[in-house]
Structure 1
Amino acid sequence: MSQTAQIEKKRFLCLLIKPSHYDDDGYVIRWWRTIIPSNSLAALFGIAADCAERQVLGPDVAIDIEALDETNTRIDTAALIERFRVNGNLGVVCLVGVQSNQYPRALDIARPLREAGIAVAIGGFHVSGCLSMLDNDAIELGACRDLGVAMFAGEAEEGRLDRVLRDAVAGQLAPVYNFMKDLPGMEGAPVPFLPIANLGRAWGNSTSFDAGRGCPYQCSFCTIINVQGRKSRYRTADDVEKLVRLNWAQGVSKFFITDDNFARNKEWESIFDRLILLRERDGIPIGLMIQVDTLCHKIDGFVEKSKRAGVTRVFIGLENINPDNLVTANKRQNKITEYRKMLLAWKAQGIITLAGYILGFPSDTPETIRRDIEIIKRELPLDGLEFFNLTPLPGSEDHQTLWRKGVPMDPDLNNYDLEHICTAHPRMSKAEWEAIYREAWSLFYSPEHMKTLLRRAAATGVRMNSLIRVLVTFATSVSLEGVHPIQYGVFRLKHPSERRPGLKRENPFVFWPRFVAESIYKIGAAVSLNLKLILEARAIERDPNAKAYMDQALTPVRDDDDVTLDLLTKTTGAGAAVAHIKKVDKLTHPGGVKVAAG
């Protein structure tokens, strides 16, 4: 192509924005550096880049792609509008990966863009979940129609984004693109990718990717099964190697595999084998965080290969230690009799163990929650526990049931972030539930227990510096910033213009001094805790008996666990679970050989 033709080529702007959401004071949650990178943004960037490479808008239209994560980048709508204006509004703004709590903010971003005549589309779990489980007008979807924002439900591979871009360049975006009944395969699909300019805004230059999608389980609080489907789909080892090499070429080798349960991925072994090869043969220093279920240790070689593949942290969907609560949520696959075996298997590899724990099941009270947290601290070798409030997320069975019955739920979608209380509880008032949620963090991350966690780390080979970063994050996110660790970052950024519409704009002479004072206090508190833990860790490392440290959580599983552990005796559900195990053992081992119930 001649230089003249190249100059005359039209430029189509494809702007991908991952919205944040508002804090309790109405300010956008934004950081200097974020901790968890956005997989949705990386996935859409990879697909859009493939569209550009294939010239889906024709040889005379170039596609310029830009990704913005609002959790670490200020969205200047006035500047965006001007960029589109000088380009004749040729392009589209895609609001990607929008969860229910981000939906109000996404609409606030879309509104001035649409008023300026810019094409806007929105996708993610909120739109997909609502169109999957509810009617077409449910949960404020009508706002998109009123604004002229195109709704995209489903996944964008296999040419679905091609169609959106072609419609946008023609000025004919459809009101709805619904692919929920036709989920694409992942083998050979464009791999998630973000340029280093984006990844540099995440702490540690890390990125994320999904090696698989879909889940066969039926947890009633989960949206994944109704958005990504119950049939599991996977990337190949070749796909994973491609994305690792793409990222390593720009100096990035730390990855969060976002599969809700990587152990269920049927390609897990071939992927791990390829990652092991890349680490041991090619010298790529791959570091991984993965999510797994509580039965992953039963898969032959899974835990051991995780270590060789570069796994340093594992997040486990523990959810609760009361089997009655697990049954209520249709999470029957979790067996509390396996919790200790599973956690000790990870500990044997020196891998940091993190777990999610849900508060607000029907039988929960502040007293039972306090009791259960103390049991976990004493008897389970977990390095970190993340607390979530049971939330009827749009797209889940729980939400659909309440919605159909007309049960009152919080009308403000901004609060559906797993931290706020969105519906009534049978045994706790809203105030009691809110209080025990905040208290739960201080109970688990007490100074004494964090010292215990460091002692366990020294005894099991867990890297102390990595654990300290986890502990500082989890111990300060709620107390200092009022946000969950999954929304946390390094140095909170605010701007008066980013306050939620409808709330009074604060006087800059009041806003900025308060912001500076708050920032100094928060930084000081976090640095102080970090230094205290570092000093604790150094003292432990100097102890010649540090490797010999032992407590109840690190004690190997024993035959008498079913009568000595509170985990297996303090609830009726636990007693029933142990009785079931014994019954199975008796049928499986008629000779009377007892199998440990831990």
Structure 2
Amino acid sequence: MSGVAVDGAATGTESPAGKRKFQVTLIKPSHYDKDGYVIQWWKAWIPSNSLAALYGLVLDAEARRALGPDVEIEIDAYDEMNILLPFNDIIARHKAAEVDGEGSGGPGSGGLVCLVGVQSNQYPRALAMARRFRAAGLQVAIGGFHVSGCLSMLPGVHESLQEALDLGCSLFAGEAEEHLDRVLNDALHGRLEPIYNTMAQLPDLQGAVTPFLPQTLVRRYDGLISSFDAGRGCPFQCSFCTIINVQGRKSRYRSADDVEKLIRANHAQGITHYFITDDNFARNKNWEAIFDRMAELRAEGIDIRFLIQVDVLVHKIPNFIEKAKKAGCTSVFVGLESINPANLKEMKKNQNKITEYRKMFQQWRAQQVITYAGFIMGLPNDTPESVKRDLEIIQREVPVDMIEISILTPLPGSEDHQTLYKQGTWMDPDLNKYDLECVTFEHPLMSREELQQAYWDAWDHYYSMEHAETLMRRAIADGIKPVRIWQHLLQIYGAMRYERVHPQQCGYFRRRVRSERRPELPRENALVFYPKNIARALRNYAGMGIYAWRLHRLRRRLEADPAAKDYTDEALAPVLDHGEDEELEMYHVNQAAKAAVAKAKAEAEARERHQVRRATNAAE
């Protein structure tokens, strides 16, 4: 069973005499920054659910003695975002588990290194790790959205996957539930297959093993936060999305009993905060039973707080928002993406209705839930001017708190990538750039440099000090503590402004390790590297400190203002019964917007006529 390593990773204990040991090392790779250094932090912000899912599955395999009664599985696990990997120690543990003679699977069969949840931007780092482990004779398997996305959407074997196969790695596509035992047994006997493609065999999650991370790993994140998926799959067809082509469009969900089990297990470790990673929890068909059970647990005195992701029509589901609040929801991420219906159409995000945006966000605010929204730029009709205009409209008319801006990126596994791949259109060959922050394709109206600069400018424009004041004033008016806005501004905008990394891959106190650089880049001279990075750290944290102080002074001034609770503006103004009748710039910004509003009006009138007919028929 699992124990604790002094470096903070979760690791196995010594095997009893007479038993064979099989070492499983789970690693969630990080990503290289623009200078080629691994992005690592003292504490990362967002836990890896892939790591939690695999950890839970390996624990279950050990408990069941899945490799036989005389084989004990030992686990060590690392999220590279918050720890410097001890490569030599990992290799030594695997070598110590190897056996000779009858029953041996040959060199390397003492264990398996699993690089888990590897996204496209993390794939170059994963390959660099794989080379080091393979050079030492260890067995390596790579899974995650890049492998699964390429095998599900592209013909043959993509060149990036072939590179891993040429190293002698195994690739795993799909979800590990119901398949991990076979992979571990194959590794034990030294007969790993090159590719395990289980994409056509997505598991039922009812009664499945639940994600779990030990406290030794959780404490390396921001606060005591862990993650789990209450369901998988999304019914929509967004062209930029990889989820629907990897996890499918059918809702598969965990039972309320399973969610209670994992929450109680985490509560026993003192873990109270969660990132529920369902791509769209609003379309989890078991959402109500799960929320009700979580509310019951809170009534018992179990502290539960979580962030979920939903779509813009979530407020149409009766009681969803109210029950989310009772269950412990403190923050919600909404897939807004754009206020321009022409852009939404390009992304096949037909479920987004701009006439519903204000009502939806206002209902979340009524429950004192902090709102995030995604905003994608780089669509075919975008220009620096149109992006700035759209952001200004959001600032004035949409009562959202934080937005996370990304550049449209053709991620392998998405329809966008598949289309460009089949057309032979140029896409940047460096997968490290597929992090939603870099330009990876040719835009019809902007050069790569113009689009990249427009991206950085967009962050600065939305998160101006003037808008920070507006966000705090709105929070006070809606009964939300402004210190929560202060904290989120520091995390979201601070990550981009001072660390130049997306908030989803940020953390506290960046560390750069001179030896952990992309293999194709030279190691910097120590006399250059250390002074440069000390200066960078001082500059970044001085800037962050000044920004935090300015926000603090702003917050204290607004908290002392007796009129602050009476604040209102266009975004907070109550939505009319017919929101499509409001006079908003968002509704008139272009012909696509006007057409969307006209369609919403026609649909509302049709619903009213239908209701009148039903009432008339009932009266008769």
Q: Compute the TM-score of the two structures, normalised by the length of structure 1.
A: 0.96
- Residues 100 and 394 in structure 1, CA contact (< 8 A), matched pair in contact too: yes
* Structure-2 residue corresponding to 1:153: 173
* Structure-1 residue corresponding to 2:395: 377
Partner-residue secondary structure (3-state), 1:490? strand
**Alignment pair present for 1:264 and 2:264:** no
Q: Equivalent pairs: percent with the same residue?
A: 54
Letter in 2 for 1:69: D
Change (3 A) 1:591 1:136: closer
**Alignment pair present for 1:463 and 2:463:** no
Partner-residue secondary structure (3-state), 1:151? strand
Letter in 2 for 1:200: R
- Aligned mates of 1:204, 1:96 — CA distance in 2: 23
**Alignment pair present for 1:118 and 2:142:** no
Letter in 1 for 2:261: K
The one of 154, 157, 172 aligned to 1:137: 157
* Structure-2 residue corresponding to 1:108: 128
**Alignment pair present for 1:94 and 2:99:** no
* Structure-1 residue corresponding to 2:11: none
- Residues 48 and 227 in structure 2, CA contact (< 8 A), matched pair in contact too: yes
How far 1:232 moved relative to its partner? Answer: 1.3
Change (3 A) 1:579 1:107: same
**Alignment pair present for 1:198 and 2:208:** no
How far 1:77 moved relative to its partner? Answer: 2.0
How far 1:464 moved relative to its partner? Answer: 2.3
- Aligned mates of 2:202, 2:580 — CA distance in 1: 45
The one of 486, 490, 493 aligned to 2:511: 493
- Residues 563 and 569 in structure 1, CA contact (< 8 A), matched pair in contact too: no
The one of 15, 18, 35 aligned to 1:8: 18
* Structure-2 residue corresponding to 1:324: 342
The one of 68, 89, 97 aligned to 1:79: 89
- Aligned mates of 1:455, 1:233 — CA distance in 2: 40
CA deviation map 1:251-300 (0-9, x unaligned): 001011111111111110000000000001x1011101000000000111
Partner-residue secondary structure (3-state), 1:470? helix
The one of 307, 312, 320 aligned to 1:289: 307
The one of 457, 460, 482 aligned to 1:442: 460
- Aligned mates of 1:467, 1:136 — CA distance in 2: 48
- Aligned mates of 1:447, 1:493 — CA distance in 2: 29
- Residues 233 and 250 in structure 2, CA contact (< 8 A), matched pair in contact too: yes
Partner-residue secondary structure (3-state), 2:589? coil
- Residues 19 and 70 in structure 1, CA contact (< 8 A), matched pair in contact too: yes
| Comparing 266-275 and 78-87, the one that deviates more | 78-87
How far 1:561 moved relative to its partner? Answer: 6.2
- Residues 180 and 227 in structure 1, CA contact (< 8 A), matched pair in contact too: yes
**Which stretches of structure 1, 4 residues or more, deviate above 3 A after TM superposition?**
559-563, 590-593
How far 1:356 moved relative to its partner? Answer: 0.4
* Structure-1 residue corresponding to 2:444: 426
- Residues 130 and 139 in structure 1, CA contact (< 8 A), matched pair in contact too: no
* Structure-1 residue corresponding to 2:56: 46
* Structure-2 residue corresponding to 1:507: 525
* Structure-2 residue corresponding to 1:596: none
The one of 566, 572, 583 aligned to 1:564: 583
- Residues 562 and 569 in structure 1, CA contact (< 8 A), matched pair in contact too: no
The one of 554, 564, 567 aligned to 1:549: 567
Partner-residue secondary structure (3-state), 1:140? helix
Letter in 2 for 1:316: V
- Aligned mates of 2:286, 2:449 — CA distance in 1: 46
**Structure 2: runs of 5+ lacking an equivalent:** 1-13, 99-107, 613-620
How far 1:590 moved relative to its partner? Answer: 4.2
How far 1:535 moved relative to its partner? Answer: 2.1
Aligned length: 588
- Aligned mates of 1:592, 1:279 — CA distance in 2: 40
Letter in 2 for 1:499: R
- Residues 214 and 229 in structure 1, CA contact (< 8 A), matched pair in contact too: yes
- Aligned mates of 1:74, 1:156 — CA distance in 2: 26
Letter in 1 for 2:48: S
CA deviation map 1:38-73 (0-9, x unaligned): 011001101111001000111111101111000001
- Residues 384 and 451 in structure 2, CA contact (< 8 A), matched pair in contact too: yes
* Structure-2 residue corresponding to 1:67: 77
- Aligned mates of 2:320, 2:433 — CA distance in 1: 37
- Residues 356 and 579 in structure 2, CA contact (< 8 A), matched pair in contact too: no
How far 1:335 moved relative to its partner? Answer: 0.4
- Aligned mates of 1:394, 1:367 — CA distance in 2: 29
How far 1:587 moved relative to its partner? Answer: 2.4
How far 1:148 moved relative to its partner? Answer: 0.6
CA deviation map 1:545-597 (0-9, x unaligned): 2211101110111358645211111121110111112212222334999xxxx
- Aligned mates of 2:342, 2:15 — CA distance in 1: 69
RMSD of equivalent CA atoms? 1.5
- Aligned mates of 1:5, 1:574 — CA distance in 2: 66
The one of 12, 21, 24 aligned to 2:31: 21
- Aligned mates of 1:31, 1:506 — CA distance in 2: 20
The one of 274, 296, 303 aligned to 1:255: 274
- Aligned mates of 1:393, 1:186 — CA distance in 2: 26
| Comparing 168-177 and 458-467, the one that deviates more | 458-467
- Residues 562 and 568 in structure 1, CA contact (< 8 A), matched pair in contact too: no
- Aligned mates of 2:53, 2:152 — CA distance in 1: 21
- Residues 186 and 235 in structure 1, CA contact (< 8 A), matched pair in contact too: yes
Q: Compute the TM-score of the two structures, normalised by the length of structure 2.
A: 0.93
- Aligned mates of 1:76, 1:223 — CA distance in 2: 32
- Residues 39 and 81 in structure 2, CA contact (< 8 A), matched pair in contact too: yes
Letter in 2 for 1:577: A
Letter in 2 for 1:82: A
| Comparing 392-401 and 541-550, the one that deviates more | 541-550
- Aligned mates of 1:228, 1:351 — CA distance in 2: 28
- Residues 292 and 327 in structure 2, CA contact (< 8 A), matched pair in contact too: yes
CA deviation map 1:396-425 (0-9, x unaligned): 111011101100100001111111111111
- Aligned mates of 1:519, 1:381 — CA distance in 2: 35
CA deviation map 1:518-548 (0-9, x unaligned): 1122122212222222222122112112211
